[in-house]
Amino acid sequence: MTMQSINPATGMIIETYNEYTREKTTAVIESVNKASSKWRDTNIANKSRFMKSAARVLRNNTDEYARLIIREMGKPIAQSRSEINKCALVCDFYAENAESFLRPEIIPTDARKSFVVFEPLGIVLGVMPWNFPFWQVFRFAAPALMAGNTCLLKHASNVPGCALAIEAIFHEAGFPENTFRTLLVKSHKVNAIIDNPAIRAVTLTGSVTAGRAVAARAGSQLKKTVMELGGSDAYVILEDADLVSAVAECIEARLVNSGQSCIAAKRFIVVRSQIMEFERLLVQGMREKRVADPLLEDTEIGPLARIDLRDELHQQVMKSIEMGAECLLGGEMPEGTGAFYNLTVLTNVKKGMPAFDEELFGPVAAIIRVEDEKDAIRAANDSVFGLGAAVFTRDRERGERIATYELEAGNCFVNAFVRSDPRLPFGGIKQSGYGRELSHFGIKEFVNIKTLYVK
């Protein structure tokens, strides 16, 4: 069987790849398993040296990798470069901090000596999505490798070129052979990979459906998992918000990666006193964004990653309008080739509509009218998702209180749009998943937290 890279801006086939056979997949897993003991015993200074080298490879080839991202999933050039730079940043972060994160912890007890050490588990399988085809991989691989684990990557089937390029980056950086490998296989083969006894843990970023399937399979064998799944992030706009600043943040948050991000703003929950001006400013700002060829330097919005995803998004928009949502901008299929979608603003969105209940993966903003702060918090939390949320108010203490105690999400921001940062833990609750990536919390997800007691 084969898998193809298709340019979403043109619909043209870039390259066709042969899917790995069962025999080749097994051989790769065995090779990575054999490499595990050597990598486990490599001292932390050498691990850091290799990881720093990976950061240099990324920075030295930023344009090459950025253009690969564009060809396979359509991210605009400036954002593609930023993604590669962020990957280098996370490599440097763990190269510089892993030793302190993993240092044994002395815990006073009645023993002569008692302490905790952090040991690698073995092979960590990463099942990764196409929307941030480099960042999502490095986000799990950098801490997992620095903790002494080896890594296998099962990437999304529409970005095989990115998957192989990442394997080559670790090789070029000098990592021992088979420390990190890519498996070119489709999703229906993931269960067999999880079943392999050499796989000790699994991390997945993707849809709720995929997360449930992978978590169930791994859980049936008691293999550790981390799940970063979908989101329908709520942005609460209170009556004292600075609307000009808030709308600018909301537009950037909604349109990051052409709207194809789990932590993109999805639902704008606006108190009644602000609704008309918020709608006006949001529509005006969205209308000014440039949708064009992602290779052009001034392009802000590119195509969606695939035609089928664009069509699914349009169906969600149309069903929401049929159910009573009002379309203030867009809502139509653009003419021409490629998986482009017109920037769209829906208002009067209510519970039961796809624009409220489901994740809209594309440049579509949903505005929800509420009466006051209490009603806004209720609407924000009235979701199966709990990845990110934000609140906008001139009263920072009020915003901090709401973000800390009222909003149900793993990442809550005040007067800013939600984003990931290597220094901060990242992850969700409810149907947005469990476990944490990044910071010292992320590197400790895939280790054996071993207690030592010496009498």
Q: Is 265 helix (H, G, I), strand (E, B) or coil?
A: strand
Comparing CA positions, the residue from 296, 344, 295 lying closest to residue 317 is 344
pLDDT class of 371 with cuts at 50, 70, 90: very high
Rounded CA separation 441/445 (Å): 7
Which of the following is catalytic: 91, 162, 262, 412? 262
Q: Are 74 and 294 in contact (CB under 8 A)?
A: yes
Task: Classify strands 433-434 and 199-205 as parallel, antiparallel or unpaired.
Answer: unpaired
pLDDT reported for residue 239: 98
pLDDT reported for residue 101: 98
pLDDT reported for residue 138: 98
Which of the following is catalytic: 72, 83, 167, 228? 228
pLDDT reported for residue 217: 98
- What is the residue type of 75? K
| Tokens found for residue 146 | 């620095």
Packed helices 77-101 and 44-60: angle between N→C axes, nearest 10 degrees: 170
Whether the per-residue pLDDT at 131 is higher than 90: the answer is yes
| Tokens found for residue 126 | 């990463």
Neighbours of 335 (CB within 10 A): 6
Length of the chain equals 455
Neighbours of 144 (CB within 10 A): 26
C-alpha dihedral sign at 396, 389, 342, 320:
negative
Packed helices 160-172 and 135-146: angle between N→C axes, nearest 10 degrees: 40
Rounded CA separation 394/112 (Å): 54
Average pLDDT, the chain: 98
Calculate mean pLDDT across residues 118-126.
98
Q: Which helix (H) or strand (E) holds 336?
A: none
Q: Catalytic residue at 400?
A: no
Neighbours of 98 (CB within 10 A): 23
Comparing CA positions, the residue from 232, 235, 184, 192 lying closest to residue 214 is 192
**Model confidence over 63-119: pLDDT tens digits?**
999 999 999 999 999 999 999 999 999 999 999 999 999 999 999 999 999 999 999
Q: Are 231 and 263 in contact (CB under 8 A)?
A: yes
The single residue listed with the structure tokens 């008692």 is 114
**Model confidence over 13-23: pLDDT tens digits?**
999 999 999 99
Q: Is 81 exposed, middle or buried (0-12, 13-18, 19+ CB in 10 A)?
A: middle
Rounded CA separation 383/90 (Å): 31
**Model confidence over 326-359: pLDDT tens digits?**
999 999 999 889 999 999 999 999 999 999 999 9
Q: Torsions phi, psi of 385, nearest 5?
A: -95, 160
| Tokens found for residue 361 | 């993966």
Rounded CA separation 267/356 (Å): 7
Alpha helices in 74-189 (DSSP H): 77-101, 135-146, 160-172
Comparing CA positions, the residue from 263, 251, 195 lying closest to residue 413 is 263
**Model confidence over 44-53: pLDDT tens digits?**
999 999 999 9
Q: Are 178 and 34 in contact (CB under 8 A)?
A: yes
Whether the per-residue pLDDT at 411 is higher than 90: the answer is yes
Rounded CA separation 22/28 (Å): 10
Alpha helices in 220-332 (DSSP H): 243-255, 275-287, 307-322
**Model confidence over 160-209: pLDDT tens digits?**
999 999 999 999 999 999 999 999 999 999 999 999 999 999 999 999 99
pLDDT reported for residue 1: 86
Packed helices 135-146 and 77-101: angle between N→C axes, nearest 10 degrees: 10
- What is the residue type of 138? F
C-alpha dihedral sign at 170, 171, 176, 178:
positive
Q: Is the pTM of this model over 0.95?
A: yes
Distance from the first to the final alpha carbon of the chain: 59
DSSP 8-state secondary structure symbol assigned to residue 145: H
Comparing CA positions, the residue from 205, 203, 72, 68 lying closest to residue 144 is 203
Q: Catalytic residue at 91?
A: no
Q: Is 341 helix (H, G, I), strand (E, B) or coil?
A: coil
Q: Any idea what the Cα angle at residue 325 is, between residues 429 and 367, rounded to 5°?
A: 50
Q: Is 290 exposed, middle or buried (0-12, 13-18, 19+ CB in 10 A)?
A: exposed
Bridge partners for 6 per DSSP = 13
pLDDT reported for residue 25: 98
- What is the residue type of 175? F
Comparing CA positions, the residue from 407, 408, 401, 452 lying closest to residue 432 is 408
Alpha helices in 344-430 (DSSP H): 354-357, 373-381, 396-401
Domains observed in the chain: 2-229+432-454 (3.40.605.10), 233-422 (3.40.309.10)
Rounded CA separation 260/37 (Å): 38
